[in-house]
Each structure stands twice: as structure tokens, then as C-alpha cells.
A and B are shown apart, each in its own frame.
Chain A
């Protein structure tokens, strides 16, 4: 039986798709919200580091299936490598209702005013396609406010001197500093920096009919057992469904946007829960599958007017792939600095977001989320052995005595960093998979990070940087 025609299709029930579906459905449009995954569940992988979004060693807790969904990584020398979702180079995001908003650390940053006009602030950057946004902070401010109150944010921007102006405060009070944050706060103030509580999409107090945070230590990378972490899966998507106008179709893999001979999108081809091919028609198609899968879907949607994929007549679809590179530092203490209470990260600094000499952009700093035992085995000072008695001694004494400060940097867009279709590798459903290639710009913060130190009372300091050529994950 053919699917009933609807007003709108939204592909992907994640951060963007959930919000669009809710706005369309409450506006009275009939909507089908497609999600390739299923509803997430904390109890499937509780307190299980090896199947978490932090270390996906044995599987990814929220999908996608690690056999059916390969990608191809293209190295600098041109060699190709097939990667699966449980390998870091895959840059996996959660494939479930709510997507990354289920498992994220849930920091709730607003862009600063400079972030909207990087080209104007920093000028043309050689080797980068850096541009200003077509809208300003002032234009977007009301939307930030709406999102903060509908989805739920805790924080206190008055303590952050670099915060952009706001009309209304955040709806919930900030999280109190944990022990690590208290130490870092005082040390950084002595250095003239400006610590403040991190704005979080997490209930510091009960909000919107859901519980307040219980300080569970398996937080970032995991679903929340009491639903105190706010994502689209427990806010806007239930609202959309409650209107009666929105049908959420889980387990459904959209593989092509149907485009007629006049260039208008008329619907999608997809594989349903039972992997049966189906067609859904609509007046409007919204694609919200994040950086990699959105580009892949557009490139796989070839039509008369768009022979190289939807919207790709100028070869810009999938270009300028930017990611999630981190930089930071560790500090070793001679006393227990961690109390292992979730969410772990409670203090942040925006002193280095912009106007750093010799760097385009910069990055925020915050103390790290919950520490995990296996992940910590990879964290060692340069001179320390990675195994044997010395490993064990370090693990035993320093697990609670190591402080980590870091944050995602402002990456610069590069034309050659891109998502493309792989000519050979196909997924379980026979659809060409995404290939990822490119590198980061030498003027971003990552390349300068080794010259930086975070001042504190630590007796020893170690530099640190995750090094992958690109990183388009959550």
C-alpha cells in the first residue's frame, strides 16, 4: 500500500530535524519524520565504557550497525581505508531518535558576535574559504532564547564577561562547581582568566516535567537514566508527535530525494524497518542528517537538472567539511582532584575564543567530562611506560589525581576537506557510502596548542592533542 502524501518530510530526527518537525507540526502541517535508528535506552548499555559514545570499542550504543554502514577514509597519500562506526576515524554520531543530543556532553553555547562574521574580523585567510554568516547575532538572538527555554538550559551568563548580550536569563540556575572546578577556578583567576559555570542542556533542577540531574558519573557519551539531559528526543519530538500531525518513522533509511524534471523535490525513496524499499511523497523535503550523511544523501540524489546530485551543479556539496578537533592540557596533582560526580565538566573559560595573536579564531576551555578507566590508559606523560608495573602504578595513583582541561577549537573551512561518494564501497542496502578526506588549516588553534600551558599548581604538565586529519563527529 502506498504511503499517504504529506506536507513535509524531515530526514533525520536529531538536533536539527527534531526542531524542524516540531515547528512544522505545531504550525499545522502533516509531517513524516524519518529516523534510521530507534528510540535510545540507557538500560541497554548502562555504565559500559566499551559500548559508549566515548570509546566505541565493542560497538556504538546508539548505532548505526557497525557492519552495515561503512565509510571510506582517504589518507593524505591518496590511499583508501574502509572504516566502520566503531573506529574513531569514522567520526560517528549517534543514529537514534535524538541522535547526538542523547549522548552529548550537552554544553549550551551561543555563538559570540565575532563567530557570525569571521571573515570581517580576521580578513581573507589564504587557503581557507572562510566567510561571514548571512545573518547576525542580533537576528538570531530570539531563536537562541526560544530554544533555551523550550529545550532547557542551566547556566548563568552574567558570570561570563565574553558572553554575547541576551534579553532573558537562562531558565535554570547553573551547576555548582565540582572539586576539580573549584581548584581550577581559583588558579585561573590568579592568572587573570575569567572562569564561569558552563551553560548546559541539562536540568540542574527539575524542569519541563522531567527530573533534575542526579550526578551520575556515566554521563557524557551515555544516555541519562533519569532523563535529566535535554535533547530533541525528550523535548521537541514528543511535542511534535503530540500534535497528531507528525509521524515518527524509525528504522527507516532514506536513500534518495526524488526530484522532478523541473528541479522540485517531490519525496524520498527509503528502506523501511524490514528493509523493504518504499516511497514517501511530500510537498517539502527537509534534510537534516548532519555534515556527512546529509551531503551523502544529496550526492546520491541524481536527477535531470542535477546530474551530479541535488544542488551540486557547482561541486560545492560536501565541501568545506569541518569538525570537532580538541586541544587541551593535563595537570597531575598530589591529591585527589576528581570526585567522579557527573557531568564532570562544570567550569569554562572563553578568554581564548577570539583575538589570539597569530591564530584565526581560537577555542573555549572547560574541565573534562567524567573520567573513564579504559580511556585513561591512553593518557600518559611522554616518559611514562604504557604497560607493566609502571602503567598500573600510574593508573592507580593518578586516576583521581589528573585534571584535564580542553575544548573544541574553531576550525577553518578548507575547500578540499570534503564528503564525497565512494566509487566502489556500498552499504548494506547497495547505496554508495561517504568518503572523507582533507586536513585542517595551519593557522587554527590546534597547530599552536603546543605552545600553550594552562596555569595551575600541578607539579608536572603534559601537552595533549587528538590528532586526526579531519573530525566531523558529534
Chain B
């Protein structure tokens, strides 16, 4: 097998493998979180999906970003627990007042508009009373990026979906895929 063929083989093998493993996530399953309550998790899942939405390739929900954030908030990021609790509460209060429903039930485009307001600190102190809205936005945004693009061993990037999107060779076959014939 010459070099190019081998690389193609590895790539297509990953593709097939990856798509088979996507099926289980379609099933309804009961998830136990370490930090989030089930209600909070729904809110953050919707938030993360806004940051990295599904299009022709998987989004934050498909990649299991919520599991990354949940796991890290119970460990290395324990100092952000309070920021999450306050931010989520504030976000839900605002949504119920403005849309009559919780964030995850608000229309996708309205969610986008709201998060843009958060990002650019355009909510007044009455609407957002837990620090700067942009700080909460940036916190969730960077955690979403880490969960989506980091190694799956930390809870997100399920089946290396982001690596596939970026066309990064995966699995990393050390050395072999770096030699040109």
C-alpha cells in the first residue's frame, strides 16, 4: 500500500467508525450530572449549541460539550461553580420575563440575539445583576470551545468529531503518516 492510500484508508476508516457511533446519542437516555441539575444542563446545552451549532458537521450537543463542562466544574474549574449558578439563574429569570419561557425553549434565533446582547454587555443592571453579562458569556464560550476542540478524555469532543471537521489526521498514527514516499 503506498503512502497516500494508507492515509486515505485511515481517514475513511475514521469516518465510518465515527458515524456508527453517532446513533446511540439519538436514544433518549437518563443522564446523571456531577454539577448541573437536569434543568441547568438543558440551559447550558442550548447555550453551547449556540456557540457551536450543528450544520453539515456535528455541533456542541453532538460532541457532548456539556459533559466536559460538568466534569471540569466538579474539578479543576471548581472556582467557577458560583459564576455558573448565578449566571444561569439570571439568564432564566430574564428569559421568563421577556419570552415567558426558559432559555432552552426560546427560539434559536432569539437565543442568538440574546447572547449577542450578553456578549456586548448590552443588558442593564436591572436585567443582569450578577456581574458583567459579557464575563458569563465568555466563560461559557471558552469552556464550549475547550470541550468541542479538546481531547475526548476530558468529556467532550465525542468520537473526535471536531478533529474530523478540521481534517486533522485521527487517530494519530505517530510517525507513520508523516513520511512521504
Contact = CB atoms under 8 A, between A and B. Distances in A.
Interface of A: 46-50, 57-59, 66, 86, 214-218, 225-226, 340-342, 373-374, 376-377, 386-389, 391-393, 395-396, 399-400
Chain A contact surface mostly: loop
A218 B163 CA distance: 14
B57 interface: yes
B132 to A, nearest CB: 16
Given A58-B72, A340-B169, A395-B166, A214 B175 contact: yes
A399 B168 CA distance: 9
Given A48-B151, A377-B149, A396-B165, 17 more contacts: A58-B150, A215-B179, A216-B172, A217-B172, A225-B174, A340-B168, A373-B162, A376-B149, A377-B145, A387-B141, A388-B112, A391-B52, A392-B52, A393-B55, A395-B165, A399-B167, A400-B167
6 contacts: A49-B149, A377-B149, A387-B51, A387-B144, A388-B50, A396-B166
B97 interface: no
A50 B179 contact: no
Q: Is chain B's binding surface mostly helix, strand, loop or mixed?
A: helix
A46 B174 CA distance: 10
Contacts of B175: 214-216, 226
B154 A50 contact: yes
Contacts of A340: 168-169
Contact of B166 (A216, A226, A399): A399
A387 B141 CA distance: 8
B63 to A, nearest CB: 12
Nearest to A46: B172
A388 B148 CA distance: 13
Pick the most buried of A46, A66, A376, A392: most chain B CB atoms within 10 A of its CB: A392
B53 A47 contact: no
B146 A57 contact: yes
A168 B138 CA distance: 53
Nearest to A214: B175
A47 B149 CA distance: 12
B174 A214 contact: yes
B153 interface: yes
Nearest to B171: A47
Interface of B: 50-53, 55, 57, 59, 72, 76, 112, 115, 119, 141, 144-146, 149-151, 153-154, 162-163, 165-169, 172, 174-175, 178-179
B122 to A, nearest CB: 16
B172 to A, nearest CB: 5
Contacts of B168: 217, 340, 373, 399
Residue of B59, B141, B166, B169 with highest tally of chain A CB at under 10 A: B166
Contacts of A376: 149
Contacts of B150: 48-50, 57-58, 373-374
A373 B163 contact: yes
Given A50-B146, A373-B166, A391-B51, A341 B154 contact: no
A389 B178 contact: no
Nearest to B144: A387
A392 B174 contact: no
Given A373-B149, A374-B145, A216 B51 contact: no
A214 B55 CA distance: 36
Contacts of A395: 165-166
A393 B166 CA distance: 10
B141 A386 contact: yes
A400 B167 CA distance: 8
A388 B53 contact: yes
A59 B76 contact: yes
Nearest to B51: A387
A392 B53 contact: yes
A225 B166 CA distance: 24
A59 B146 CA distance: 13
Nearest to B56: A396
Contacts of B50: 387-388
B153 A48 contact: yes
A215 to B, nearest CB: 3
A467 B51 CA distance: 25
A255 B172 CA distance: 42
B18 to A, nearest CB: 16
